[in-house]
Structure 1
Amino acid sequence: MKTPEHALEATGFLDEESVARTMTNATCEDLERWWAEVSRRGTPVVDPGSDRVTFLWRGKHVRDDAEGAESVHLAMNRVTDKALYDHGLMRHVPGTDIWVRTLELEPSLRVSYAFTPMSPDQQRRSGPPRFNAYDSLLDPFNTGQPLVDRGRHGLSIHSGPAAPSQREWDDHRSRRLRGRIVRDVRALPHAEASGRARDHWLYLPSVMQNEHQAAHLPLLTIFDAENWFGNLWLPYALEAAADSGRIPPVAVLGIANNDTPDRIARLGANTGFLRDVAEHATAWAEDCARTVGIGLRGREGRIIAGQSLGGLSALVAALELPHAFGHALAHSPSLWWTPDGASKPHDLGTREGMDWITERYQASTPEDVSVEIAIGEREGLTVPRGRILHRTMLDAGWSSALTMYTGGHDFAWWRGAVVDGLARALRTEPHEERTSDSYFDPSMRSSIAPAQY
């Protein structure tokens, strides 16, 4: 009879049932050999013959150790969160330190995940995640670079065998950055009524230039800089993309948030804030670039990008500040938002008629700004609402493109979409529109998740 570790080596896959069947009450020696094989192979374990994927966590159960967990939750963006929370509850194998969960996942899915061991007196946390906090634990057997690395905490990534390439992000943290990063704490003059300053980040590539003419670079302005610079290391990936020829060297202006209320107030279609970013923050970036002999291109080479509320802000900037930006990348825009501040993400499920930003575009005069909307196929009602927005923009005469990614409301695919969008905006790659009605329908496997934060 084959031992469990030999079965894993032979088939390349173990599911919940086989793990429970072969490992219940395993000896300490068998457990150590089994975990050694898991560590050698890496996780998650993908079944080459189906869409099944198995995730494993090592930890004692409270029955066996007072410091152990009563349950472990596999927290996976829009796969096991919100209404789908119970899908992430892992199965404990009796008499062992093995927790296992097998899920059916699309081969093209790229998704972030982490583990949350729960003690008997610990309550499940509800609502949106805490600002810039990563409380769950990384997968110690995942051999890829984490999405967010905070020691034991952070977010791991599962990329299905058919997930689009993100080669710029492969081992990007091991690169030596040739460009420079400037960070300053600055208050924007009009939008910051309280006088509260915020982090401004600026990445300037290392470019060849002669003594008579400064290089003129495109400028990407992106929100949520505490993530893009502080957690995700965006400049390293952009240098890799430039080295491969996917994009030209691009300067990046990152605007950070101070906390969740600040983010909601500033990125909730706040025209005054956006105007300050376009005028004053951009002027600061130009001054910094000029000191090292770099010029920044005008509006035709300026891209504004954001995700979630930042995606909404990118749409508003294209609509109201077309003189400042030639391109807008709106990823998973918060279509639920309304000016009265009373709307919540779940309101998308009860709203009749068009969303606020869609109505704005329907009534608008088109401007010379290219807009790319990108949405995750697991984002529930944002998918059909986003299609309506895209069609409305086209009917109104705007240059709009819609791209669907297999994923949730998640930096795991947003980071790839930033590079994809830059390549198309800067004309180094054509846009391949993926907007057919054959997109993944989460109801085929589980209920549609509610609208997103």
Structure 2
Amino acid sequence: MSTPSVPAPAVPRAADGGPIRVDSDAHDRLRRGIHPDEISARWPVVGDPIEWDGRMLRPVTFVAEAPPGHEVMIHLNGVTDAHREDIAPALMEHVGAGRHALTYLLPAELRVSYRFAADPVLPRDAGRTREGWLRIHGLGRADPRNSETLLNPLGARSSVLTMPEAPRHPGWESPGAGDLPITTVPLPSRHPATVVHGDPSRVLVLFDGEWWERLGVASALAYRGGPLTVLVPSGSLAERAALLPHPERLLPYLAEELVPAVAEAIGGWDAARTVVAGQSFGGLAAALTVCLRPEIAQTAIVQSGSFHFRAGQTERPPAGQTGDLIEGLSRARVSGRFVVQAGTEEPGMLPAASAFTDAVQAAGGDASLRVFTGGHDFAWWRIGLFDALDAFDAL
């Protein structure tokens, strides 16, 4: 049976496209030269709820330090991406002593990764080109006053802002809880897969496995008592883009290489107890697998799926575009189960996720959509993945 979309509050925007900027007690004290360590032991500082335009929001004050003469901007995943061609809404105020501060009004449900980027001059149109935005990523550094971090797909460390009402999962809050046995499975033409030997009553196939290894998924699965998990590596970003969204390459690879090799290592394969999961191109790959090859897996966890993808399209797709898979579902029948998730700060992907959910339901499948307050981000993908697994275990 399909379940309805679960709403989540988006980050409110000011007229300039950025989050609403306000003052706060912490921000004012920074202006008066008080050292951040005397203001709070934990940063960012989350203030008491205030009502703004009928909503209850929290002022969140960030502080960063930079060499003299440098400008500093904050890159909140998804939240400040919306104004790449004018980064002014993300520039922090110089408050003296090499410190820069900024206070945004943010929803209490937000969970988001962020970094600070500093340079003598930050071009206001830094994100007008891909190269310019990648330079911002290259300048970015984690917040040294925030101990909650993760490794992002570019291999750098980001800080995580977890607001008071943001979803959590204990599996990700107890690092070093234990280790599960791990097996490396060689594959004929691609990077070897890794099998984390959790509970064999259910199998999780997880795309972008090397990213999840860096995030510590084996330890998190050990704490949770998670399923036997197959971490499927994607290789370089170019290799990933050449495989995951293309069913004519992806599905033969899974059926002819991955599944036989892993089945031999774990003693068989049962599509009915197999869940395939991924994010972005990996989310699309999970959806493609269950839609087109249900003998591989009959359940998908699809996080921020790239449902805009159209083979052969080279230009950036327009916002709200739906691609090949959703179009194909209008002429197909499916029988699988799909847990679809997207973030409020993914303006193009959220409508496409809703369109995919509707298309699956119209084609006879079981689909639900859950929306998280966040961007295109492992900060909430980690939580959403484990929440979906918990829901399957409860059935």
Answer whether TM exceeds 0.5 for this pair. Answer: yes
2:137 pairs with 1:137: no
Mapped partners of 1:393, 1:201: distance in 2: 31
State the structure with bigger RCO (CA 8 A, min sep 6), 1 or 2: 2
8 Å CA contact 1:269–1:312 kept in 2: the answer is no
Secondary structure at 1:347 match in 2: coil
Three-state SS of the structure 2 residue aligned to 1:239 is: helix
1:22-61 equivalence runs, <5 A: 22-24=29-31, 26=33, 31=34, 34-38=35-39, 41-50=41-50, 51=57, 52-61=59-68
Change (3 A) 1:332 1:21: closer
8 Å CA contact 1:116–1:136 kept in 2: the answer is yes
What is the rounded CA distance, in whole Å, between the counterparts of 2:152 and 2:307 in structure 1? Answer: 30
Structure 2 residue 363 is matched with structure 1 residue 396: yes
Aligned to 1:117: 118
Task: Give the match for residue 16 of structure 2.
Answer: none
State the Cα deviation string for residues 102-161 of structure 1 (Å, max 9, x = none): 11111111111111111338894642876xx97621111113x312289x9511111111
Q: Match for residue 173 of structure 2?
A: 170
Residues 267-311 of structure 1, C-alpha deviations (whole Å, 9 max, x = no match)? 12333322322442123223333xxxxx45511111111111111
Please state whether the residue corresponding to 2:385 is helix, strand or coil.
Answer: helix
Say whether 1:160 aligns with 2:160. Answer: no
Q: Identify the residue that residue 250 of structure 2 maps to in structure 1.
A: 273
Shift of 1:101: 0.9
Q: Which has the higher strand share?
A: 2
Choose from 263, 276, 281 the match for 1:304. Answer: 276
- Where structure 2 has 5 or more consecutive residues not aligned to the other structure, the ranges are 1-21, 51-56
State the distance in 1 between where 2:161 and 2:28 align: 26
Amino acid at match of 1:325: A
- Give 1:361's match in structure 2, choosing from 320, 326, 329: 329
Select the structure of larger CA radius of gyration: 1
**Secondary structure of 2:250's aligned partner:** helix
Q: How does 1:4-403 map to 2 (within 5 A)?
A: 16=23, 22-24=29-31, 26=33, 31=34, 34-38=35-39, 41-50=41-50, 51=57, 52-62=59-69, 69=70, 71-83=71-83, 85-93=87-95, 95-120=96-121, 124=126, 126-127=129-130, 136-143=140-147, 145-148=148-151, 153-172=156-175, 174-177=176-179, 179-183=180-184, 186-188=187-189, 197-205=190-198, 216-229=200-213, 231-242=214-225, 249-289=226-266, 295=267, 298-344=270-316, 346-349=317-320, 351=321, 355-367=323-335, 369-403=336-370
Question: Structure 2 counterpart of 1:347, which letter?
Answer: P
Task: Specify the alignment match of 1:10 in structure 2.
Answer: none
Distance in 2 of aligned mates of 1:153 and 1:322? 36
Counterpart of 1:424 in structure 2 is 391
**Contiguous gaps of at least 5 residues in structure 1:** 1-14, 63-68, 189-196, 208-215, 243-248, 290-294, 430-453
Residues 217 and 297 in structure 1, CA contact (< 8 A), matched pair in contact too: no
The 1:281–1:407 alpha-carbon spacing in structure 2 relative to 1, beyond 3 Å, is: same
Residues 16 and 100 of structure 1 are in contact (CA less than 8 Å); yes or no, is this contact kept in structure 2? Answer: no
Alignment length, in residue pairs?
360
- Which amino acid letter does the alignment assign opposite residue 78 of structure 2? R
| Residue 406 (1) aligns with residue 373 (2) | yes
Cα 1:278–1:110 shift into 2, 3 Å: farther
CA distance in 1, matches of 2:372, 2:27: 34
CA distance in 2 between counterparts of 1:417 and 1:24 reads 38
Query: Runs of at least 4 residues of structure 1 off by over 4 A?
Result: 15-25
- Kept in 2, the 8 Å contact 1:271–1:317? The answer is no
Letter of the 1:171 partner, please give it. Answer: S
Percentage of identical aligned residues: 23
Aligned residues of 2:24 and 2:61 also touching (Cα < 8 A): no
1:254–1:20 distance in 2 versus 1, CA, 3 Å:
closer
SS in 1 for 2:141: coil
TM-score with structure 1 setting the length: 0.72
TM-score by length of 2: 0.82
Deviations 1:239-271 (A, max 9, x none): 2222xxxxxx41111122222221111012333
Sort the Cα spacing of 1:238 and 1:186 in 2 relative to 1 into closer, same or farther, 3 A. Answer: same
